[in-house]
Structure 1
């Protein structure tokens, strides 16, 4: 029987690999062919037809950038065609009838949520919604939930412990919902997951990974497990998350664009990658045994940026899973998979600052990783280009400016450097060709957006986006904003890439998920780009009026970066658009239950708002007993001597007298937690703790 199963698996694997080879060949043909034609036009547009070093540099940069854009364009076209034909018949979901999946028994699965300095109640309310949805579906028996904390601030991790315990009591989830905080924070999120697997991984066949902002419906989670049971050679199954809960105008724009355009891009990407897909680090299911055996991440042994722990782990883990002979699939047909967007462009760029360094590290693995499949190398390259495209574009603009200066200020050089021959090289201008090439490039960027509108109309989804005319208007608004933000992202990403390559230090922190951008913050963060935009535009005006007009699409968004950042962060504007059914998504008009549960949980009152988590852990008897139970029970005499002065200082002067590290040491020690509770309740009424206690009513204690 085992031999029959192995033969069937091998046959399916050979089948999809043949199909993938054909699809990738045609993608390469279209991209390279289109780039060759566009590059030919550029050569004849350039005055010296590539006869100078500057023009050779322009041509090289143009080829790289045009190919990058063309890959995205043809991926969307593939997706559109496949959806028009009813979907990809080689996808995992198409292989198994619904009745067959329903009859498939579930296996023991861990649902894990790694967190680091996140808004606690906001984050765990999402996990609560996932738990309730699985419970409502009657599938709890095969699932256990783990909160994996890397938080260092005691005001955060003490609140995490309290909220976890409250959820266990509220849900009756004792023995099913677990909390663990690492005391030694090594190797970022991948180290957090690795620590969990070393301790408890052998309890489970599968592991579903959630981010702090992730939501997955019970139906989707169950189907993922069933697909993994039916496909023993699949090591990772990745969903295509939709962005939800966008309140600010920026988040609403991101949410709308993701929901509308990802149908094409995710379908096309899945069809091209097939069983060599990437792992995005969350909203996915992993087969635990091969993941533990093959996906451990050694530290890089290079230099600078390429030395030390791997920060962006997900693409590398997918590559290692493929190297071990397992398949990695992206399955867009698995719906009801959600995540959230940063509320402002400033917060998105702060996140990109962290991600850029991790993605650029992949260059080392791309070049020197052994036995990694070509498709996974291309996925690594794709992640690198997500950030490298910005400095390449900036370099293209700089060389274009140099070319304009040479043609305007300098005398014509009939024998430029690099030109060989007895006859002079005459500069030529073809403005009509330049216009045609510019329109061709713009079509690659914007045509997929209108294909997405057509796709929504064909499949009867336009109503979920507010109807056809509101959908069209929403796309036009999104295009205008994307044009305004593109130069801002270019400048920021270029700075991040330079900082990463210089291996500048970088701090990792929890993301802002709720706050608006202030004018002061916007001016401080965007002022360098505003200065560059204004200076470049003024220089272009002094050089040549036509060059000035050419500079405006980049210069104007940079000059307006601060007000754009502030306006887009406004929640009131985002809600105003939603009230008019603009930039809306189907899940807003017809929300699924897991979304309703998460919103209801986040709307609950915060009972601990009067006290910080440290103060509550000291004062409230119930919470103090909880934290005592979770702290270490024994300590050596030497440690007791070291902690005693910290306890006295905390008891007499309050939490502000101790550092974050000192507070963490105290609250990890059971005797110290008990002692400070006694000291607080014995304090004089006019002391710090006496005043904090008197500020509370009996019901709040």
Structure 2
């Protein structure tokens, strides 16, 4: 067999994986230097944020925090404050501030949502889009049938609106599993057969997944993005209605100052209790929280990494990520890239907007506590890296608040744990340690260690009210929408689901607190998390694995229970929600991650969301398309079949990403080893068999090694099978 690489280069029979390249610079931004005069000027000077809204939320939060601090101080200040009491006061203030901001913003989100219910929605335009958008679907060892079925569903939805001319679809693979790579290629060819008549779909797999998802998207930007006006970034579990995609592009065209527009995705397709718990909370409480956030941050919004449209010019010129000093976990490539990119885009003078009024944006959630822990470990490391970003020069203070929110979302857990332990220490101190009444030699009157119990109870009620207010407001706002209310089970069904969610969340919360505390501890000890593929469906695990995963959580619960009982049964009763969650972590994790239990809860009508009864059309399109891709993935040719069949090999080579020039003397050890093993093989099967998974993945992406392997013969049995297949 002559050079297959040369043959495919001169042949016009095989469509390439990607369009012609349009190289562009995407310079890494400097976090230590920024000149205000370099910031672009707004085209529309009125496109600025309102100070009044900021003052309402921040001022309201400060007033609430000041009142709570004063009450907490008064609770303990009947006597002199001890060292433990001072620690409790500081921890309470920090944790209360964390929940107070969200609670105050939710009030304004509630008011805006209710007013929107009684208003008239803006009419949808059907004018043709004038500019081009690249739809980006990054993937990493995901199920190709799900990805390509979603793309087909979205592309057909866009086509039904007559707007396909404005969108090209790109699957940007960082897949490392060689079997999944071949399945992705088979799914791509199926997609081109099914929807290639009215849209364009492309595929590129990187040889090395440097900088993970952020590096994947950056590679596309530097090589192809300049051919497009906008980038609409998706995730492997994303799904968006065609009208939402088109409206995002239309808003970007209409607003020359918009650098990024982020939708608020709705969680769907949950099968386990854990997944259904998250999607119920997101669907019922989420709109109030998201709308409140959008209301006060205004033009200084945030980016959540997917289901958002970005102006290409803004992204290329201002969002190139720097590499942080030091080694992982705090240094190296920025893992949680989205918050940083939004902050850099805003720093450059572009607006970042949260489109809280746009529906039709969907994603999925982890199916179990264990899967949540795996994802949170990665997110925790990425967010704590932002400690090196938050002080970046020129960042808007609201952008810094987003970054701080991301950091606090994980630091809050160890702070809550410290608050619980400090309060326990305060109680045990009063019970077991003899107080020192006369601390000063010349003191006439004793210092009695006293706590105002009545005031403490009132403060506890205030804290619970602030904590639960977003949920209550979300439920009330949901009641105003009769269509969604009826689809979610009516008044009674929603109230029962609300109570079920509150109880289960209360049991899960202490486990998540310990999980996130453990993640923070590992990062402080400089343990890198790496990057693991996310499970999407079944969250079930064997009981042995659950015991191993949660053994320390159970022991922590038993220790807390012992300490509480050592003081009094009253203290044990106060701490019982946390104790129960920890002690029963194994069954709670197993039951909430079980598909069977999830189906039973769904049968009971609990945690129902409107999208389960009024299934969105885009999900129906995806369901209709998926069997074709499941079949294509199942029938994907093996590596031996591809190498031994000239037609299959030339088709594969047409999809292989070009190799970057190699500096003389710099040899990739994996490629060199794969080539050496292929050279020693006598047959194609033997050559493939010599290689491990990493070497096979390299082989698939390296035409020179594929060419060398293709020169080998098949064994007789395989050759007969190949001939029969061709016949």
* TM-score of the alignment, normalized to the shorter chain, above 0.5: yes
Over 3 Å counting, the alpha-carbon distance change for 1:175 and 1:75 in structure 2 is closer
Over 3 Å counting, the alpha-carbon distance change for 1:626 and 1:538 in structure 2 is same
Separation in 2, partners of 1:106, 1:87: 32
Over 3 Å counting, the alpha-carbon distance change for 1:145 and 1:88 in structure 2 is farther
Q: CA deviation at 1:152?
A: 2.0
**1:98 matched to which residue of 2?**
123
Matched, 1:626 2:651: yes
**1:434 matched to which residue of 2?**
456
Determine if contact 1:208/1:283 at 8 Å carries over to the other structure: yes
Separation in 2, partners of 1:244, 1:381: 28
Separation in 1, partners of 2:658, 2:218: 26
Separation in 2, partners of 1:632, 1:202: 19
Select which of 163, 167, 173 maps to 1:149: 173
- Larger RCO (CA under 8 A, 6+ residues apart): 2
Over 3 Å counting, the alpha-carbon distance change for 1:431 and 1:664 in structure 2 is same
Determine if contact 2:167/2:199 at 8 Å carries over to the other structure: no
Select which of 375, 400, 403 maps to 1:380: 403
Select which of 447, 452, 476 maps to 2:474: 452
Matched, 1:547 2:581: no
Separation in 1, partners of 2:648, 2:220: 26
Determine if contact 1:633/1:670 at 8 Å carries over to the other structure: no
Over 3 Å counting, the alpha-carbon distance change for 1:543 and 1:654 in structure 2 is farther
Select which of 695, 719, 727 maps to 1:662: 695
Is the partner of 2:336 in helix, strand or coil? coil
Q: CA deviation at 1:85?
A: 2.2
**Structure 2 counterparts to residues 163-202 of structure 1, below 5 A:** 163-172=187-196, 176-202=200-226
Q: CA deviation at 1:446?
A: 2.0
Determine if contact 1:627/1:673 at 8 Å carries over to the other structure: no
CA offsets 1:24-82 (integer angstroms, 9 cap, x no match): 21212222222222222222333765611111111011001011111111121111111
Larger mean CA deviation between 173-182 and 229-238 belongs to 173-182
Determine if contact 1:295/1:320 at 8 Å carries over to the other structure: yes
Separation in 2, partners of 1:102, 1:50: 70
Is the partner of 1:245 in helix, strand or coil? coil
Larger mean CA deviation between 195-204 and 441-450 belongs to 441-450
Question: CA RMSD of the aligned region, Å?
Answer: 3.1
Matched, 1:463 2:486: yes
Determine if contact 2:272/2:368 at 8 Å carries over to the other structure: yes
Matched, 1:316 2:348: no
Separation in 1, partners of 2:135, 2:328: 36
Q: CA deviation at 1:599?
A: 2.4
Over 3 Å counting, the alpha-carbon distance change for 1:321 and 1:671 in structure 2 is closer
Is the partner of 2:365 in helix, strand or coil? coil
**Structure 2 counterparts to residues 125-524 of structure 1, below 5 A:** 125-172=149-196, 176-301=200-325, 305-366=329-390, 368-415=391-438, 423-460=445-482, 461-518=484-541, 519-524=543-548
Separation in 2, partners of 1:669, 1:199: 20
CA offsets 1:381-438 (integer angstroms, 9 cap, x no match): 1111111100100111121222122111110122569x99764321113333222222
Separation in 2, partners of 1:213, 1:616: 31
Over 3 Å counting, the alpha-carbon distance change for 1:473 and 1:10 in structure 2 is same
Separation in 1, partners of 2:442, 2:467: 38
Q: CA deviation at 1:86?
A: 2.5
Is the partner of 2:598 in helix, strand or coil? helix
Larger mean CA deviation between 382-391 and 644-653 belongs to 644-653
Matched, 1:40 2:73: no
Matched, 1:68 2:119: no
Q: CA deviation at 1:351?
A: 0.2
Larger mean CA deviation between 391-400 and 611-620 belongs to 611-620
Separation in 1, partners of 2:406, 2:283: 21
CA offsets 1:249-284 (integer angstroms, 9 cap, x no match): 211121111111111111111001100000111000
Select which of 583, 589, 606 maps to 2:613: 589
Q: CA deviation at 1:182?
A: 1.5
Separation in 1, partners of 2:525, 2:175: 28
CA offsets 1:525-577 (integer angstroms, 9 cap, x no match): 11111111012202221233222222212111011111111111111222233
Matched, 1:643 2:643: no
Larger mean CA deviation between 655-664 and 276-285 belongs to 655-664
Over 3 Å counting, the alpha-carbon distance change for 1:304 and 1:159 in structure 2 is closer
Separation in 2, partners of 1:416, 1:488: 41
Over 3 Å counting, the alpha-carbon distance change for 1:44 and 1:529 in structure 2 is same
Determine if contact 1:145/1:176 at 8 Å carries over to the other structure: yes
Larger mean CA deviation between 285-294 and 165-174 belongs to 165-174
Over 3 Å counting, the alpha-carbon distance change for 1:105 and 1:630 in structure 2 is closer
CA offsets 1:138-161 (integer angstroms, 9 cap, x no match): 211111011111122212222222
Separation in 2, partners of 1:610, 1:668: 21
**2:6 matched to which residue of 1?**
none
Is the partner of 1:531 in helix, strand or coil? helix
**1:575 matched to which residue of 2?**
599
Determine if contact 1:248/1:575 at 8 Å carries over to the other structure: yes
Is the partner of 2:168 in helix, strand or coil? strand
Larger mean CA deviation between 601-610 and 319-328 belongs to 601-610
CA offsets 1:216-245 (integer angstroms, 9 cap, x no match): 111001111111111100100000000011
Q: CA deviation at 1:515?
A: 2.5
Over 3 Å counting, the alpha-carbon distance change for 1:316 and 1:13 in structure 2 is same
Is the partner of 1:98 in helix, strand or coil? coil
Over 3 Å counting, the alpha-carbon distance change for 1:308 and 1:174 in structure 2 is farther
Structure 1 residue runs of 5 or longer lacking an equivalent are 1-5
Determine if contact 2:674/2:695 at 8 Å carries over to the other structure: no
CA offsets 1:489-528 (integer angstroms, 9 cap, x no match): 1001011112222321221021011233222221111111
Over 3 Å counting, the alpha-carbon distance change for 1:632 and 1:476 in structure 2 is closer
Larger mean CA deviation between 619-628 and 531-540 belongs to 619-628
Over 3 Å counting, the alpha-carbon distance change for 1:398 and 1:128 in structure 2 is same
Larger mean CA deviation between 370-379 and 166-175 belongs to 166-175
Determine if contact 1:240/1:334 at 8 Å carries over to the other structure: yes
Is the partner of 2:224 in helix, strand or coil? helix
Select which of 55, 62, 83 maps to 1:53: 83
Separation in 1, partners of 2:241, 2:705: 42
Structure 2 residue runs of 5 or longer lacking an equivalent are 1-39
Select which of 19, 44, 47 maps to 1:10: 44
